[in-house]
Structure 1
Amino acid sequence: MAKKSMKNWFGLGKKEASNTDEAKVDPALLVSSDDETAEEKAIRRAADLQLIADFEKNSAVSEIDIITPEPVVIAPEVVNADVAADSVDEADKSVVTDSAPVNDEPAAEEPVDKDKFFTRLKRGLSRTKGNIGSGFKNFFRGKHIDDELFEELEEQLLIADLGVATTTRIIDNLTQQASRKELKDAEALYDILKKDMAELLHKVDEPLVIDSNNKPHVILMVGVNGVGKTTTIGKMAKKFQGEGKSVMLAAGDTFRAAAVEQLQVWGERNDIPVVAQHTGADSASVLFDAMQSATAKDVDVLIADTAGRLQNKAHLMEELKKVVRVMRKHDATAPHEIMLTIDAGTGQNALSQAELFKEAVGLTGITITKLDGTAKGGVIFAVADKFEIPIRFIGIGEGIDDLRTFNSEEFIEALFSNEDKK
């Protein structure tokens, strides 16, 4: 369109061919002794034609320059779909939830007043207490023992995520106790229920013991995405350091750069060495190097992180088995603790997680996090009842002191406490 408009502007239009022919006329013929004006006209036309040619040339370039380019679609980097699904999800939650709790705490852990901790424990369990524990006081008040009562209680236990098997066991025992003792008043069931639930947790009340004669004591942390493994590692490291133990961390979650960086932040703030490699490195290799380094430096405790993996991804569970095999090449007794981290808000899915991780690598301990963030903390009873694997720690908040050694008596007393001390 640009070419046509310019030609019309010069008044040439369809006469382009003839004008071009005129421009090629022998200059000698243009010099006429008869008409000097004709010569000037020819020169002007030749100049005009040259101007048109120059314009056409420049116009073509301009048209190319202003053409809007087609959008270029850059193909994303091809990533193993299973690996991406199993690692990116936690990256999102963890950057927001896992790294936030990192606090610039002093190197030595200050002693925590037991009364203050008990108050924090009750506050942390306040949402769960509404469904179970102290919430049972109001539930039983003024009611008679009958089938309807047990049906309502069964529903309440299921809502709190105790699970079908554990709930059935509790209801059956309460029914037998009520019948044998010929109880009529429902409030009499409160103490029986509290005792039954305490017995479930008493079976898994076994604090983690670090064997100082076998250095390094290797703790391998496993679990699915987003449960707070990395944060738990940092808090555990601070706890052990406060007890006078030397600690080293191994960044075995090589899928996520954020996990490595977060672990390094914990290390820098608490003067704890961290063994890490580049993102995408072989996790087993990282942990093997860490074990060698910890042995050479006579470190008391080595805590090894691993990538979050869905329990239903067989090939990822095989990778975890490989990690354990490689660690045992350095120390046949390692890892000395394989600790599963469970998010209390996960509900009954926690049971399938524990089942498959137990089958894959065996579990010697469990940490249950985020008990303060859910009203369904009853999953701790379901896990304890089904697996009887020691619960080492519980998380009831974001503070560094909110990861505490599990004590079943304190837990039950806090859960069933009717006081809301601040």
Structure 2
Amino acid sequence: MTDLSALLPVIIIVAIVILVVAGVVIGLVSGRRKKITYTGPRDANDQVIAPTRPGASTTEEAPPGGTGTLPPPAEPEGEAPTEDVLDEAVIERVPTETPAPVAGRLQRLRERLVKSNSLFGKGLLALLSSDSIDENVWDEVEETLLLADIGTEPSLELVDTLRDRVKVMGTRSPDDVKAMLREELVKLVDPSMDRSLKVSRADGKPAVVLVVGVNGVGKTTTVGKLARVLVAEDKDVLLGAADTFRAAAAQQLATWGARVGVPTVKSDVDGADPASVAFEAVKAGIEQEVDVVMVDTAGRLQNKVGLMDELGKVKRVIEKQAEVDEVLLVLDATTGQNGLNQAKVFGEVVDITGIVLTKLDGTAKGGIVVAIQKQLGVPVKLVGLGEGPDDLAPFDAEGFVDAILA
């Protein structure tokens, strides 16, 4: 007994130490587990419901909302994440808005484009309508085209064609010159390119749209605006906030979505694995049978190999569940030829299917549309012409040229 009594304090101390160590280990493991949040509205019984678009008459079941734990996604050669524990949802209390109809939006954007590019069009028409069109005039026409960022090869091609047509027709009529210029510009912009967005369900799965680009071009805003376009077309949309590095990016996207009744899958942990968030967003979209899942990604410089590799990983992880139907590269129209360099690198990593050209209202350099399409063979599918929530519209080749020459 005496020996046991002497050992009792030691046994108690050892037990306490073991409990403390176990608690610390459990806390560290729990702290490292990433949380994914599904943002969406709830009903009176605190059950997550699918957001109802303005004017919609039905309510569908939403993904089990809330925060849960997820392992990082495996590389494509391994198994995809399987854990799906979701509890309490974070609710975005933002008034639901009705997006502007696409048709009316196109007209407003055309009016803005007329103003922003008027100097380009007027300059060309003034030169080509002069009494004497000599080599100096053609040099000025070429310079005007280059300043508009059309690119060297397309500019030379256009000048050579116009020179030959003017010489053959022998006309100086402003109307004739404008008609010829319009025809040649439309050919350069190429209305035959497929500018449609693949945003319809196929094989029982939603269309997946991945949005990429460098820092500061407006990717998150573009995703939010495109969600409004799709909602206006009566599409069921779900957003994935895979930009996990920029402060408040996920919340910004969730707010955009909430304004039109679109749910967002995001992480509650800064710096979480973007591929995990992208995977969960597509998974939720499949389970809820939405039409489109749009995944926002972090901005990255095209010369940062590690970040570009990570972007490739995001795409590969998504493809474990569904095909990526669209990879949209967001470019700032004011960057000019630098935008071409960005497009080339991104295209090598994730196979760009379309360009979204933003800030086109703040520049007379709309010729970047021609340069991008000529060099990459990738169509400009959407243009942004302002800061408003509905200032994004499908690109129309002939409408674009008419606005330039108006």
Specify if TM > 0.5.
yes
Range moving further from structure 2, 166-175 or 230-239: 166-175
The structure where strand makes up a greater share of residues is 2
Taking the aligned partners of 2:395 and 2:194, their CA distance within structure 1 comes to 7
Deviations 1:338-383 (A, max 9, x none): 0111111111111111111111111111111111111222211211
Q: 1:303 aligns with which of 294, 299, 306?
A: 294
Taking the aligned partners of 1:182 and 1:240, their CA distance within structure 2 comes to 47
Task: Return closer, same or farther for 1:367/1:112 CA change in 2, 3 Å cut-off.
Answer: closer
Taking the aligned partners of 1:292 and 1:117, their CA distance within structure 2 comes to 34
Contact 2:113 2:404 in 1 (8 A): no
Correspondence 1:373 to 2:354: no
Taking the aligned partners of 2:351 and 2:109, their CA distance within structure 1 comes to 32
The structure where helix makes up a greater share of residues is 1
Paired residue secondary structure (2:290): coil
Deviations 1:120-179 (A, max 9, x none): 423234222212x24422233324222111101111111111111221121122233234
Deviation at 1:237, TM superposition (A): 0.7
Taking the aligned partners of 1:105 and 1:138, their CA distance within structure 2 comes to 50
Q: 2:162 aligns with which of 174, 196, 206?
A: 174
Q: 1:185 aligns with which of 155, 162, 172?
A: 172
Correspondence 1:328 to 2:319: yes
Taking the aligned partners of 1:317 and 1:414, their CA distance within structure 2 comes to 36
Q: 2:226 aligns with which of 216, 229, 236?
A: 236
Q: 1:227 aligns with which of 193, 217, 230?
A: 217
Task: Return closer, same or farther for 1:205/1:372 CA change in 2, 3 Å cut-off.
Answer: farther
User: Which residue in the other structure is 2:307 paired with?
Assistant: 316
Q: 2:235 aligns with which of 219, 230, 245?
A: 245
Q: Residues 262-273 of structure 1: matches in 2 within 5 Å?
A: 262-273=252-263
Task: Return closer, same or farther for 1:413/1:158 CA change in 2, 3 Å cut-off.
Answer: same
Q: Percent identity?
A: 41
Deviation at 1:283, TM superposition (A): 0.8
Contact 1:264 1:274 in 2 (8 A): yes
Taking the aligned partners of 1:257 and 1:274, their CA distance within structure 2 comes to 16
Task: Return closer, same or farther for 1:112/1:290 CA change in 2, 3 Å cut-off.
Answer: closer
**Structure number with larger C-alpha Rg:** 1
Task: Return closer, same or farther for 1:110/1:160 CA change in 2, 3 Å cut-off.
Answer: closer
Paired residue secondary structure (2:310): helix
Deviation at 1:193, TM superposition (A): 2.0
Task: Return closer, same or farther for 1:359/1:125 CA change in 2, 3 Å cut-off.
Answer: farther
Task: Return closer, same or farther for 1:369/1:117 CA change in 2, 3 Å cut-off.
Answer: same
Taking the aligned partners of 1:105 and 1:121, their CA distance within structure 2 comes to 29
Correspondence 1:337 to 2:336: no
- In structure 2, the gaps of 5 or more residues are 1-93
Partner amino acid, structure 1, of 2:160? D
Taking the aligned partners of 2:185 and 2:115, their CA distance within structure 1 comes to 17
Q: 2:273 aligns with which of 269, 282, 286?
A: 282
User: Which residue in the other structure is 1:25 paired with?
Assistant: none
Task: Return closer, same or farther for 1:113/1:247 CA change in 2, 3 Å cut-off.
Answer: closer
Paired residue secondary structure (2:209): strand
